[in-house]
Each structure stands twice: as structure tokens, then as C-alpha cells.
Structure 1
Amino acid sequence: MAPSLISAVLRRHKPSSWSDVPRYEDVVLVPLAEDSTEYLMVVQNVSVALRNKIHSVDRVQNPFLWGSYMLKKEEYINYLGFGIAREEKLFHATAEENVYSIVKNNFDWRRAKRTRYGHGVSFSPSADYANTYCNQKAGCRRALILARVLVKMATKGNYGTKLPPPPSDTTTGKNGNVVVKYADNEFYPEYVVYYTN
């Protein structure tokens, strides 16, 4: 995205919590103070056992991904209205080494490995659930990414689900503990929680 377009997006949609983003930076990771309201808001849905393993939390400031997500969100709202389209905050656990690629380029549903509820990017409302089902090859240095996720309509997914049947855009499984997304810009990696498993 050209710097002028990024500036236009940020003028309209820049989150109040964001610090200044250097003009030609793709992504900035901002460490949060442990006693800040923002830090506490991020870790509030993490169990005490997992919370004790947290090393740090970063805010992700990626103007291009944020702008793309906000355009998609406006499309959802304009097409469907506020009552139908919703935004959820969900967790995705991964190896620490994958963080930079995700916060720079976003999650890639084409690289899904665990596809029990569909061939897309899996999220969970439960940090513990996301950690439990994180790929074992991720090792012990992990990251929980708290993402904003747009959901229009969900249906139950399975191993064979390549795309949800219309009009659904999302599949779910395990009594709502798994939420699977299939399209670009329907999610934004907002925070990264670094921890040891």
C-alpha cells in the first residue's frame, strides 16, 4: 500500500492506542507494560496457569493489514448490517518463530495443517484450547496471537470442508472452541502474547 493511502487509512481508522508508525515501516511491535490496562485486557481471558508462563505482550501496528481489515469490516457492515456481521476476539497459538511472518503478512489459510473443522485458519475463544491444540512441532517457545475476526454466518466444519457452503463464511467445531476462516482480510493479528509452554 502506498504511503499516501496508508496515511489516509490511518487518519480515518487509526486505533487510539497506537503510537506513531514510522512512515516506511511495514509493521511495528510495541511492548506493553505489565501494569497497563491494555496488557491486562489482553491476558484477562488466559487461565492463571498459562498466564504465569507469559514473558511479554506486544501490540501489532501494521497499517496495511489494519487498513485491509477495516475495509473488509465496512464491507461486512454495509452489506449485512450491525446485527448480523460481528467481530470476535479469538486466539491462535503458534511457534514464536512464526510471529513476524504473521504480523507482517497475516495468517495464511492456504498453509493450514490441522484441518479437522475445515481447510482454513483456526482460532479459538479459549487461549488454553488454542495452546493445547497448537502443533507439537511449535516447541516450548510459543506465541498466542489475539486476533480480531469477522464472522458473518457460521456452520459446522469437518475434514472435507474446503470452503463453507453459502451463505456461511466461517466453520466451527468442538462446541464452538474452534472457529475456522477461509478468506484474506477477515482477521487481524492485534496482539502477540509470548509464553513458554
Structure 2
Amino acid sequence: MQSQQNNVLDDHLRRLTSEERLRLATALAESGKFATCSASSGASNLKHRRPKPIAPTQTLAPQAPLPPVSVKPDKSKKEEKEKPKEEEVTVTVIQAFPTKYFSDAVLQSLLPSDWWSSSVSQFNSRDAAPLRRPVNIFHPFFLSLNQALQGQIFCIEMVENPYLWLMYQLKAVETVPFFNSTEVLLFHGTKTSNLHNIFNDNFNYRLAGTSVGHRHGRGVNFSSNPQFCVRFAQRGCIVVARVLRGVTSPGSADTLLPAPFCDSTGNFAGDIIVKYHDHEFYPEFLVHLKA
């Protein structure tokens, strides 16, 4: 009778799905009937017993526990996250333009001491034209220039453009150590229609030779001889510019760049200099000649 009941139970268990078997085994284990039946049935009925189903989260053979690993918190990363980011310090004038980090007093200290204080407000506005003010013609430099031009100077204006001046100073810091450049005053003759662009945006070497040619190179031409520049000046105007002059190589009408380790080209006499990079010059004075 007992064996017949076990056979019927086996047939019934075979028809159950895995989920139904799991629920049945769990219910029997909780009620204690499965343990009581196993103990009373004796050793002869062990072959009819079904093993306890294994839950999906259980493993057949228990593994030895891994030794605990002590993880020390990275304090540096925590401090980096908690530490507020410091504001970047402006180290160049280019980063500070417009004068976001500079007060008017600090900006004025970066400019020549003889410039008017209104040039700072002109620089802050950005849209205003650079300041042009008259200069004493009896300065020794202009007296010698007037003598070289045979008394043709009518008046002289000084151009105060803080942006171009500071860009020129940055260029000097960059090029002087490399080319061993020195600052010289040179002359440039041009049309009066070009004066506005020159004093606002500086000389543009990309326009070289568009009107009178480029015999010594396709750049911005300067000369130490003011009489040479008069022939290119229309309506009697010459620009006096500060120029960074380093090593000069010979140039021709087809020269696009100076020779290696040189920053300019020119003629063999050395009185003509052609520059090829932005802001290596600053247009400082405008000389008006007599008609």
C-alpha cells in the first residue's frame, strides 16, 4: 500500500513544473510534514525521497569566503570634489580683453606714462576710434626729422590705441628672446584712406603690394629714410612706427616669408625693412607735411 502511494506521488510529481515543485517543497518544509514523513518512513523508503529543490540563488558547493579587503577612502579625491574651483588668473592681456579683470588704474599702469587717461575709457568702449593728440614739434627727434624733410613738417599727432600697444608689447616678449630683436623708429608712407584702418587695426601685411608694389617682399614696408617714404605718401602724410627689428635676410618681389631664423627682409643697403607678422609694429605718430 505504501509503495502504491509512493508510485502515485511520483507520477504526480513528474507532472509538476519546476516552479510548482519549488512552491510545494517550500510549503512542506515550512509545515514540517516533509521532515516527519522522512523520519517515519524508515531506511527502506529513502530511495523514494526527492531531494530538496535548490533555489536559484543557492550554490551546490559552498565556497570558502574571500578574505576581507580593507579599502581606504581616497581623501585626495574627496578633497578635490569638496574644494571649490579657484577662479583662473588672467596672465595675458589677450585673456583680459575686454578689460574684464582689469580696473582702469591697473590698465593705465600698463600704458606709457605720458598717455592721456581718456585712452583707457577709449579702450574699454572698444568701438571708439583711438585717441589722436598733437605733439610738441620741438622734440629732438622731430627737429631732426624736420631737418631731414627740409622743413616740410606742418604738425604731428600721437596715436594712443591701448589695444594695439599691449599687443605690440606681448609680441616683443615673444620675439625679442628668439630673434634678439631691438626696437627702432621707422617710417611708412601710405594713402590717407588707409590711415583709419592702420590706427584702428594696425598695418596689414596681407595687403602688400596692392597699390605700389613689393620689390623687397610681400609684407609691410618700412624705411629708415623719411624722404624715401614721401614718394609713397599721398596728401602729405607719413606714419612713424615702432618696429621690432631682428635678423634681416635679402628679399625680392616673390618673397613670401623671410629666411629661416630671420624675422624680416630688406635691401642690401639696410634702409628698407619688410615685416611679415602681426603686431611686430605699432603706428605711434602721424606726420602731416606742408602742401
TM range (shorter): 0.7 to 0.9
Where does structure 1 lack aligned partners over 5 or more consecutive residues? Answer: none
**Equivalence for 2:93:** none
Secondary structure at the aligned position of 1:130 is classed as: helix
Determine which of 248, 254, 275 is the counterpart of 1:154: 248
Rounded to whole Å, the distance in 1 between the matches of 2:105 and 2:259 is 36
AA of the residue aligned to 2:159: V
State whether structure 2 residue 157 is matched by structure 1 residue 58. yes
The 3 A distance-change label for structure 1 pair 172 and 9 is farther
- Please tell me whether the aligned partners of residues 58 and 192 of structure 1 are also in contact (alpha carbons under 8 angstroms): yes
**Structure with higher helix content:** 2
Secondary structure at the aligned position of 1:119 is classed as: coil
**Equivalence for 1:18:** 115
1:8-157 equivalence runs, <5 A: 10-20=107-117, 21-23=119-121, 24=125, 25-35=128-138, 37=139, 40-48=140-148, 50-77=149-176, 79-80=177-178, 84-113=180-209, 114-132=213-231, 134=232, 139=234, 141-157=235-251
- Please tell me whether the aligned partners of residues 137 and 143 of structure 2 are also in contact (alpha carbons under 8 angstroms): no
The 3 A distance-change label for structure 1 pair 31 and 116 is same
- Please tell me whether the aligned partners of residues 57 and 191 of structure 1 are also in contact (alpha carbons under 8 angstroms): yes
The CA RMSD measured in Å over matched residues stands at 2.3
Rounded to whole Å, the distance in 2 between the matches of 1:164 and 1:101 is 25
Under a length normalisation based on structure 1, what TM-score does the superposition of the two structures give? 0.83
Q: 97-106 vs 22-31, which deviates more? A: 22-31
- Give the paired residue count: 185
Cα displacement (A) at 1:3: 3.2
Under a length normalisation based on structure 2, what TM-score does the superposition of the two structures give? 0.58
- Please tell me whether the aligned partners of residues 129 and 177 of structure 1 are also in contact (alpha carbons under 8 angstroms): no
**Structure with higher strand content:** 1
The 3 A distance-change label for structure 1 pair 96 and 174 is farther
The 3 A distance-change label for structure 1 pair 55 and 9 is farther
Where does structure 2 lack aligned partners over 5 or more consecutive residues? Answer: 1-96
**Equivalence for 1:171:** 265
Secondary structure at the aligned position of 2:141 is classed as: helix
**Equivalence for 1:189:** 283
Q: Which has the larger radius of gyration?
A: 2
- Please tell me whether the aligned partners of residues 31 and 57 of structure 1 are also in contact (alpha carbons under 8 angstroms): yes
Give the fraction of aligned pairs with identical amino acids, expressed as a percent: 32
Which is bigger in relative contact order (C-alpha 8 A, separation at least 6)?
A: 1
Rounded to whole Å, the distance in 1 between the matches of 2:202 and 2:150 is 25
Cα displacement (A) at 1:196: 4.0
- Please tell me whether the aligned partners of residues 250 and 268 of structure 2 are also in contact (alpha carbons under 8 angstroms): no
AA of the residue aligned to 1:100: H
AA of the residue aligned to 2:132: L
